[in-house]
Every structure is written in C-alpha cells, then in structure tokens.
C-alpha cells in the first residue's frame, strides 16, 4: 500500500487548474479512497506479464498508478457532473493515459485479457447478466479471471444515498417515500442522477439465478478491514447514525470474529465475485 499512498501524496489537485476546485476535492478524496481499496483487493492478481482490463475506471486514479508497471487498459463511458468530467480529463492529460470512453458492452477490441476487474460498476449497468457476459467474453482462457465488487441490495442499505430502504423495495423507498427529503438534501439533479443510474436487481440471489460460473467470496473481513483502516470510507458510512451505532457496538463487544464466521454471504452489504471463462 505504501507505493500507492505515496503516489497519491505526490498528486496535487491545485496544479490541474480546475474551475471548481472545492467540488473536485470532495470527489477526489472519495475516489482516492476507493482506488486504494481496490488496489489492495486486486494486488494479488496483478502480474507484469498479464494483460489487464479495468471496467469503469471513473476518473482513472487507479489506472494512473497501475499503468506505471502494468499492461492495463481502462474503459469508462463518462457522463459525470461537469466538474468530474473536467477532473477526469485533466488526470488523463497529466498521466498521458489512453482510455476508451465506452461501456464494456460496446467495447470493440480483438485483445483478450488475463485479468479483468470492476468496483462499484455492476449496480450501474442496464442488464447485469449481459454486462458480466460481455466481460467474460474478453477473458483470454480458462486461467483468466474476472473480479467484480459491488453493493448487494439484498441487504437494505444503499451506499450512494447512504440510506436504509424497506427490504425488497429499494426503488419504492427512494423514488416515492424518500423522494422529497432526498431532493432537499441532495438537490434535484444529483438525486435524479443517482436514482436513474442504479440497478436494484444487483442482489446475491439475482446473481445466483444467472447460471454463470460465479464464485462468491465472503466480504465481511474486507468490509471490517476497510472500516478500521480507511478514514474516508468510515466517515462516509458512519454519517448514517444506525451504521455508526452498529459499528461502535461491534467494536465494543468484540464481535468481528464471530460475525465473520457465522454471518451469511447472501446478506452482506457488499459482494465480491470471482468468475472464470467457461
């Protein structure tokens, strides 16, 4: 982790001459925390002789770090807020990155990859099965690996709104019951952008029904490690009072080991999946 942390410590947003520096700073802090966490999650899969594809590179912070030592391609359809698109373009220019502004479903290439990964992308796709199959079709052979991390809406918490929802009824909760309060809190545009880009079919049970060779990795140790060590992530989640109290009680009662051993994968707030080519 030291290398990637040092890389970001040397990164100065002020040098990018952004029009909206304050909004960019807030977005960058979250994106940096996600990039560091993603790197820690996939580091064991990275090899310099392998071709790597990042699906949904965002503003390409992780790509910027990895392209120094690895053969990596990143794809991202874009379409963020104006300040985010500006930040993304400045980062691409700074690091001389060549990326593909597209979705994986529309990505046209003859290249096949040894390792493909995405983080917090699947819940933004129109068709979950088609997205995974599109990724699988880009794997080189049976030794290649697709790694996906995403929210699990079987668990009634939405990590973009940082709000709880009525179990099995996330869309009704956010589009109807909480609509006015969320629009007041976030503003109409941001609320609509978040809601319209979420696919609540992203659940453990829906993914199980797809008849795809998915291996589910229990994520609870990973979640606790990140809450303990990632200040930005912890502050983000603990802005929700219930999450904060639950986390404090788990620490106070020293329940982590017990929960990791008995808590079911299907009801974790997050999914980690490994998929190999058929």
Q: Strands 145-151 and 115-119: what pairing?
A: parallel
Contacts of 78 (CB under 8 A, 6+ apart): 85, 88, 101
Q: Average pLDDT across each block of 10 residues of the chain; the chain has 278 residues. List them in order.
A: 80 80 87 94 94 95 93 91 86 86 95 97 97 97 96 97 96 97 94 95 97 96 96 94 97 97 96 92
pLDDT of residue 135: 98
Q: What is the pTM of this model?
A: 0.94
**Segment holding 33, helix H or strand E:** helix 21-42
d(CA 132, CA 125): 10
Whose CA is closest to 125, among 210, 188, 251, 232? 210
Domains in the chain, start-ordered, CATH in brackets?
2-152+200-219+268-276 (3.40.50.150)
Encode pLDDT of 114-173 as tens digits. Answer: 999 999 999 999 999 999 999 999 999 999 999 999 999 999 999 999 999 999 999 999
Instruction: Give pLDDT tens digits for 172-188.
Output: 999 999 999 999 999 99
Per residue, the 3-state secondary structure of 210-258, as one string, reads CCCCEEEECCHHHHHHHHHHCHHHHHHHHCCHHHHHHHHHHHHCCCHHH
């Amino acid at each position: 982790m030291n290398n990637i942390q040092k890389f970001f410590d040397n990164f100065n947003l002020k040098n990018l001459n952004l029009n909206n520096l304050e909004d960019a700073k807030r977005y960058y802090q979250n994106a940096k925390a996600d990039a560091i966490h993603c790197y820690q999650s996939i580091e064991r899969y990275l090899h310099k002789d392998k071709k790597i594809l990042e699906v949904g590179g965002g503003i390409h912070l992780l790509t910027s770090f990895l392209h120094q030592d690895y053969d990596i391609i990143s794809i991202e359809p874009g379409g963020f807020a104006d300040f985010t698109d500006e930040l993304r373009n400045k980062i691409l220019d700074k690091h001389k990155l060549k990326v593909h502004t597209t979705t994986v479903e529309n990505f046209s290439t003859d290249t096949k990859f040894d390792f493909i990964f995405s983080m917090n992308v699947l819940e933004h796709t129109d068709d979950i099965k088609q997205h995974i199959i599109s990724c699988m079709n880009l794997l080189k052979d049976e030794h290649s690996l697709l790694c996906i991390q995403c929210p699990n809406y079987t668990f009634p918490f939405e990590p973009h709104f940082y709000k709880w929802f009525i179990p099995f009824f996330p869309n009704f909760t956010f589009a109807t019951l909480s609509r006015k309060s969320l629009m007041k809190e976030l503003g109409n545009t941001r609320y609509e952008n978040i809601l319209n880009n979420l696919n609540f079919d992203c659940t453990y049970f829906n993914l199980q029904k797809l008849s795809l060779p998915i291996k589910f990795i229990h994520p609870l140790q990973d979640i606790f490690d990140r809450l303990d060590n990632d200040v930005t992530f912890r502050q983000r989640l603990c802005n929700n009072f219930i999450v904060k109290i639950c986390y404090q009680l788990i620490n106070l009662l020293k329940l982590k080991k017990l929960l990791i051993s008995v808590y079911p994968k299907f009801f974790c707030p997050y999914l980690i999946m490994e998929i190999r080519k058929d």
